[in-house]
Homo-oligomer: A and B are copies of this chain.
C-alpha cells in the first residue's frame, strides 16, 4: 500500500496498513522468554527454603561466578532501581556522593530513590551522548578533601546508556583507572548489559572486557529487559565491597523470599548464552528499523544504533497518529523527538510493518 502523496495526514492516518503485533514502547513491555517461564514452572515443585537457601539460587550464583570470575559475589534482587540502590549502598563511604551523567537513570528516573535510601548526593555532569569521560572525573578533584563538599566516592556508568550509546571496553577501563586513582569506586548500571554485550562482540569475553577486566567494582546486571518476568542481579566484583551486602539487600527491601523463582529465571536466561542471543536479536531489529526508516523523508535519524533504541525526530503532527496506531514514547517533546525500542521478541515482521506505517504516514 502506497500513500497517495496528495492525501492529507488525516486521510493517511485513516488508511494505515496492518499494525505490528508488538509495540516499540520499551523492552520492558515485552513479556518473558518461554524458557524463563518453563524454568519457573519447573522450579515450582515442593518446598524450598526461602531467601536463597535453595538449589536454584546456588546454580544462579555459580552461573554468575562463571561469567564474572571466582571472586565475584552475586545477589539476586527484584528490580533495576533496587539493584542500583543496593550496588551504591555497598559502594559508598559516609559523606560521599555519586558521580553520574545528567541522563543517568539513577538521577532522572528513579524518583529520588538513591537520595532517599542512600542519603547521598548525586553529582550530575552533562553528557550529550550519555557517556562520562575521564576528564569530567578529574575536574571534580578540587572537591576532594574539602569538608564543605560531599566527597565524590562512586562513579556510576550506564551500559548501554540511556541514550542508546555504548562505552568501549577501553573507555570503561580508562574511567575506572581515573576513578581508582582518585580513590573512587565504579558502578556499572547494566539494566541493558545484555544489549551492550551483544554490541561489543556478543561473547562472555566481551562482557568481561568492559566489567571485571576493565576494573568495574560493582554491576547491576539487568534481567527484566533481557527477557525475564522480573529480576535483576547485583554482582560485586571488588570482594571488599561484598561484606555487608546480604544485610543491605534485606534493608533496602530487595530480598525476594521465594528466591528460587528469581533464580530459576536467571538460570534459563544465562543458559547457553541465551541472554546474549536475545539481545543480539533486539539490536538487529533496531538496526533493521533504522535501515528502513532513516531513508524516509521526514525521519531525522543519526547513525545506526549501537543497541536496541532509536531516537528519531519526526514531523510534529505525525507523532500522534503514528503512536495511536502502534505505541511508543516521547523522548523530547520540545524537539519532536521520540524513542523507538525493540525487544527480545520483536520480529522482522513487526519492524517491517512499523516502517511501512511510518512511510505511509509521511506520504
User: A residues touching B (Cβ–Cβ < 8 Å)?
Assistant: 21-23, 25-26, 28-32, 37, 40-41, 43-51, 78-82, 85, 89-90, 93-95, 97, 108-113, 115-117, 119-122, 124, 142, 147-151, 224, 229-230, 244, 246-258, 260-262, 327, 333, 343, 345
Residues on B with beta carbons closer than 8 Å to the beta carbon of A43: 31
A32, A108, A149, A255 — which one has the most chain B CB atoms within 10 A of its CB? A255
CA distance A246 to B151 in the complex (A): 11
Which listed residue (B80, B150, B244, B343) contacts A257, Cβ 8 A?
B80
Which listed residue (B21, B29, B261) contacts A50, Cβ 8 A?
B29
22 inter-chain pairs at a CB distance below 8 angstroms, sorted by A residue, are A23-B47, A29-B48, A30-B47, A37-B40, A37-B44, A40-B229, A49-B327, A78-B82, A79-B253, A79-B256, A79-B257, A95-B112, A95-B251, A110-B148, A110-B250, A111-B251, A112-B251, A147-B255, A151-B247, A224-B257, A229-B261, A230-B256
Residue of B nearest to A108 (CB): B149
Which listed residue (B82, B90, B147, B229) contacts A51, Cβ 8 A?
B147
Closest 7 pairs (CB-CB, A-B): A112-B150, A95-B247, A82-B253, A116-B119, A112-B121, A111-B250, A31-B44
Q: Is the interface of A mostly helix, strand, loop or mixed?
A: loop
Give A18 Cβ to nearest chain B Cβ, in Å: 15
Q: Given A229-B258, A230-B261, A253-B253, A119–B115 Cβ distance below 8 Å?
A: yes
Question: Does A95 contact B121, Cβ atoms closer than 8 Å?
Answer: no
Q: Given A47-B29, A49-B327, A252-B253, A111–B78 Cβ distance below 8 Å?
A: no
Question: Does B257 contact A28, Cβ atoms closer than 8 Å?
Answer: yes
Given contacts A82-B253, A112-B121, 18 further A-B contacts (CB under 8 A): A21-B46, A25-B47, A28-B257, A31-B44, A40-B40, A41-B41, A47-B345, A78-B78, A79-B257, A97-B112, A109-B149, A112-B119, A113-B251, A115-B115, A116-B252, A147-B250, A230-B258, A252-B253
Give A115 Cβ to nearest chain B Cβ, in Å: 5
Residues on B with beta carbons closer than 8 Å to the beta carbon of A29: 47-50
Residues on B with beta carbons closer than 8 Å to the beta carbon of A79: 78, 253, 255-257
